[in-house]
Structure 1
Amino acid sequence: MIVPVKKISATVGLALAISSAYAQADSANVATDSAAADTAKHFQWWSAVPVLGYTEETELQYGAMVNFFIPSSFKGGNSQEIDIAAYGSTRKQFQFAATPYFYLAHDRISGWLDFRYQNWVGHFFGIGNDVDMDDYISFDRETFFFMALVESNLGLPPSLQFFRYGMVLDINHSTMEFKEYDGEIALPANADGWRTALGYHLTVDTRDNPNWARHGMYLQWEHRFYTDAIGDFGFTYQELDLRTYGETIWNTSMAVGLVWQRSDGDVPFEYMAGPDGIKRFRGVEMKYFRDNQALIMQVELRKELFWRLAGDIFFEGGKVGPYFSQLLRNEWHRSVGFGGKFALNKSERLYARAEFSWVDFKSLGMTFYFREAF
């Protein structure tokens, strides 16, 4: 969950985790082999995190995150998971999201489903890299969103098990009402309607863990095709995501990420390339700066502290442009920050995080979310 802010006059963050009791599971009900049954004897089945915050952007914000875990049917396999989050604010903003993560056929087939409803007050800062955080058009948006990814390495030799291929589906319906505005920002041309896409997804993944990775690398290429045959817009979206992980001194892990995005065609303004503010360039509103192409760089140090607590410090840079050569010439937006983490499930390395960012060395931002940023 993100709490984007321009300036913070007061901020209160509460992240109390309530872990489930550890189940004494019967091996016949949990797995098909004795190794899985031994693992499941002390398996954590769920966790919950209430979050409370205050910013100028949202006023009082309140909500909760709940995670349910299902043990793997074999030793060393990935646990399946269902994440549920709901939150609202005193500015009549509300969002509900449910995301199941699944692993089938001895983890040879995997993916996730994302169901989301949002009734939100947002801000449009215009298009381009040079935007003014104090100049925007407010809008009310209602969105029904479904996205799914299924990927597999079936049919590949053992030497290529780190490679996965798959398909991605995106179905989104949004309606927006823009508030009166007398400034120089032009209203977006594309707003209401259906966004419907099917695309392909290619991944090289050698990480030791999908949540908090300490070793390995992750390379993803995704290309989605939105059609006006069964939707209201025809455009394409491409994304290249490169991450690498390693260990430094004092048992500290380091993550480095680079993301390039591109959108072409009759693109609704919220699908233009730019930061999401939750995982990519934290502490700003979603697509605070946006254009046809975006480049985002991230470096983060992560350290386990004691009990279920951990912390991180990070540096992020991002910029957008209408085409690649202009993108490279444009100046970087920069952000530094730090945060605290609470382990929702230590065996799965799943943490909830609360982070502060200093954006462009001018404005403060705050982010609440579970899972790592990248």
Structure 2
Amino acid sequence: MNFKPLYILLLLLIIVVKGHAQSELDTLYRPQFTAFPYPAYAQETSWEFGAVGIYQFKTANATFDTRPSNIYFIGFYTLENQMRFKLEHTLFTNHEDWVFEGSLEYSKYPEKYYGIGNNTPMENEQLMDWSKVEWRQQFLKKLSDKMFIGLQYRYVNFWDISVEKRADGTGSLEEIPGYKGGINSGLGLVYKWDKRDFVLAPTKGHFIEFRAESYGSWLGSDYSFSAFKLDMRKYFSLNKKKPYHTVVAFQGLLNQTYGDVPFRELSLMGGLVMMRGVYEGRFRDHHMMAFQGEVRQHLFWRIGATAFFSTAQVAPNWNAFLFDQFKFAGGAGLRLLINKDDRATLRADYGMGPDGSSGLYLTFGEAF
């Protein structure tokens, strides 16, 4: 079943243009810069060593109804000879009339590749190596309170792609879609309804983002394909009396790709965000459906704990999704609050996935 018409209809139904009330300037907010070196761990990287910096601030003449903007940098090198340097930003203008959100990244990233499909065997494992530069920028205009629509441009360039043969001597680079590397250049429509109280670690509200992207030669792309993504999140703040504040969070994710889709642009299951405990890209295909829930509990001082559960499935088309083919993962973790005003956190999660897979994740920020 093709869900694109439903997405477009949903988008048109929920866009309602409203004005906004004038508010007093927020003269009490003080910018904060946090930076530190860190060790981290994930099953995709082994141990990594790097530095994190985040600057949280409000733009000029911002009012109380304007959420803090942030600029975030991370750079690391891992024991798997991977390196990544990434600069992200989320900027809210006064009254949040405009939002500018984007990232710039360089990566050299050896990783394991298992082929395409929801049930690829472990014996398919191959070590792949690639380098990339990626730039993504969104320009969003406010429609109503915390509701935005706009455009996104995304540019990705892959090169130096190589792959080792499997343990049995089979497998070649030519079997992998997009093995030649090259440029993915795409323009898309973005709809975002963001009622979260905090961007980095929400405690209440909701977040909905829909993206429809087109990649083609008319934009200088070496590959012609389209991608559709729907990300829905909901947060409930329970038991607000200190010191035992509880947050319950849910996320649903739908990914669709059509056309000549390179291996890294397919829907990837796993990683430190969704399906923790599953190696990122362990299962990949043109479409993915994923859900997760999490309970976040404050314990004492700046320490918190969390428990999470997720399920996902990838498929070549929507008709191929089967109820008994969903994968399951779950686990628990700890949190350290490093900025009480804007709730920036460090997290340590241990997740367990299907077939005895597991992963430890030490990183910055909540999973969603």
**TM-score, structure 1 as length reference:** 0.83
Which moved further from structure 2: 330-339 or 288-297?
A: 330-339
Q: 1:54 to 1:349 in 2, by over 3 A?
A: closer
SS of the aligned residue for 1:106 comes to helix
Q: 1:34 to 1:237 in 2, by over 3 A?
A: closer
Do the aligned residues in 2 keep the contact of 1:311 with 1:340 (CA within 8 Å)?
Answer: yes
| Matching residue within 158, 166, 171 for 1:174 | 158
Q: 1:36 to 1:289 in 2, by over 3 A?
A: same
SS of the aligned residue for 1:271 comes to coil
Do the aligned residues in 2 keep the contact of 1:334 with 1:361 (CA within 8 Å)?
Answer: no
Quote how far apart the aligned CAs of 1:221 are.
Answer: 1.2
Distance 1:136 1:49 in 2: 35
| Matching residue within 188, 206, 213 for 1:217 | 206
Which residue identity is paired with 1:130? N
Indicate the residue corresponding to 1:245 in structure 2. 235
Indicate the residue corresponding to 1:66 in structure 2. 53
Which moved further from structure 2: 309-318 or 359-368?
A: 359-368
Indicate the residue corresponding to 1:231 in structure 2. 221
Distance 1:274 1:263 in 2: 11
Quote how far apart the aligned CAs of 1:218 are.
Answer: 2.0
Which moved further from structure 2: 352-361 or 68-77?
A: 68-77
Do the aligned residues in 2 keep the contact of 1:319 with 1:330 (CA within 8 Å)?
Answer: no
Please show how residues 139-150 of structure 1 align to structure 2 within 5 Å. 139-150=128-139
What CA deviation, in whole Å up to 9, does each residue of 1:189-218 have, x standing for no partner?
312100000000112233333232232222
Indicate the residue corresponding to 2:363 in structure 1. 369
| Matching residue within 185, 192, 195 for 1:206 | 195
Distance 1:107 1:87 in 2: 33
Is 2:322 the counterpart of 1:328?
yes
Indicate the residue corresponding to 2:255 in structure 1. 261
SS of the aligned residue for 2:199 comes to coil
What CA deviation, in whole Å up to 9, does each residue of 1:153-179 have, x standing for no partner?
1xx4xxx42421011111000011112
Do the aligned residues in 1 keep the contact of 2:254 with 2:290 (CA within 8 Å)?
Answer: yes
Do the aligned residues in 1 keep the contact of 2:112 with 2:128 (CA within 8 Å)?
Answer: yes
Q: 1:299 to 1:34 in 2, by over 3 A?
A: closer
Q: 1:141 to 1:335 in 2, by over 3 A?
A: same
Indicate the residue corresponding to 2:336 in structure 1. 342
Structure 2: state its 5+ residue gaps: 1-22
Indicate the residue corresponding to 2:11 in structure 1. none
Quote how far apart the aligned CAs of 1:234 are.
Answer: 0.3
Do the aligned residues in 2 keep the contact of 1:293 with 1:327 (CA within 8 Å)?
Answer: no
Distance 2:194 2:53 in 1: 27
Indicate the residue corresponding to 1:99 in structure 2. 88
Do the aligned residues in 2 keep the contact of 1:46 with 1:68 (CA within 8 Å)?
Answer: yes
Indicate the residue corresponding to 1:359 in structure 2. 353
Distance 2:52 2:291 in 1: 28
Q: 1:203 to 1:143 in 2, by over 3 A?
A: same
Structure 1: state its 5+ residue gaps: 1-32
Do the aligned residues in 2 keep the contact of 1:167 with 1:198 (CA within 8 Å)?
Answer: yes
Quote how far apart the aligned CAs of 1:273 are.
Answer: 1.4
Do the aligned residues in 2 keep the contact of 1:345 with 1:351 (CA within 8 Å)?
Answer: yes
Is 2:309 the counterpart of 1:315?
yes
Distance 2:256 2:153 in 1: 18
Which residue identity is paired with 2:37? P
Which residue identity is paired with 2:237? E
Distance 1:57 1:117 in 2: 17
Do the aligned residues in 2 keep the contact of 1:143 with 1:172 (CA within 8 Å)?
Answer: yes
| Matching residue within 27, 41, 44 for 1:37 | 27
Q: Determine what percentage of the aligned residue pairs are the same residue.
A: 22
SS of the aligned residue for 2:28 comes to helix
What CA deviation, in whole Å up to 9, does each residue of 1:42-80 have, x standing for no partner?
x4x211243324677645421121111223432242222
